[in-house]
Amino acid sequence: MVDPTSDLGEAVDEDSAPRCATCGDPAHGVGRRTVTWVDDGVVERRHFCGEACREAWSAGHDDLE
Ligand SMILES: [Zn+2]
C-alpha cells in the first residue's frame, strides 16, 4: 500500500507553505514556528517564519502563552 501522505515530509514549497501570521512570508524551513491553542473547543493554529515573528505576535497575545 502506498500512503499518499508519507512523502510530504519537509518538501513544502513556498506556494503551499502556510503564511507567517506576522509578516506574511511563507512559514517554512528550519526556522519556522507554529503556535497551537484551543479556543472554545476549536484548535487554532498560527504559523511564523521564525522566532522573531513568533515573539512579535505573542507580545500582543499574552493570554495565549
Ligand atoms: Zn514572519
Q: What torsion do the CA atoms of 16, 22, 23, 28 make, to the nearest 10 degrees? A: -30
- The pLDDT assigned to 6 comes to 45
- The pLDDT assigned to 10 comes to 54
Q: What angle do CA 57, 27, 48 make, to 5 degrees?
A: 15
- The pLDDT assigned to 41 comes to 97
Cα(34) to centroid of ligand 1, in Å? 11
Residue 59, C-beta contacts closer than 8 angstroms, at least 6 positions apart: none
How do residues 15-62 score in pLDDT, each as one tens digit? 788 999 999 999 988 899 999 999 999 999 999 999 999 999 989 877
Cα(39) to centroid of ligand 1, in Å? 23
The domains of the chain are located at: 17-65
CA distance 24 to 47: 10
